[in-house]
Amino acid sequence: MNPRRHISFEDEVPKGRTRVGKTTIDNIGLNGAFLGGKRRERLRMIDAWLDVVLAAKEYPGDAELQAKAAEFRSCIKSAKRPDAEFSSMAMDYLSGREL
């Protein structure tokens, strides 16, 4: 079973796309406070990376900012890897964003 077919994320909140997804969310506690808090922390980190990446677009002559943005683009790419913690949430959150 591919969980991405059954569960998506709106920010840090899992949403069942199918009956299987809804049941899975309920049965394994994906909406619980602990996991929700961990996902919120991850989103704050991703947002911080995004802020730097977007700032670098505004200031192309700032070499230090460009270097940090390159590092954070790599972090963002890693966050979307299937083996990364909360990768499905990161994929949905970052979907459609130009980096």
Identity at 26, one-letter amino acid code:
D
Rg (CA), the chain: 16
The pLDDT value recorded for residue 70 is: 98
Q: Taking the model in full, what pTM does it have? A: 0.90
Indicate the SS3 state at residue 14: strand
Q: How many CB atoms lie within 10 A of CB 76?
A: 18
- What is the C-alpha end-to-end distance of the chain, expressed in Å? 30
Per-residue pLDDT tens digits of the chain, which is 99 residues long: 788 999 999 999 999 999 999 999 999 999 999 999 999 999 999 999 999 999 999 999 999 999 999 999 999 999 999 999 999 999 999 998 877
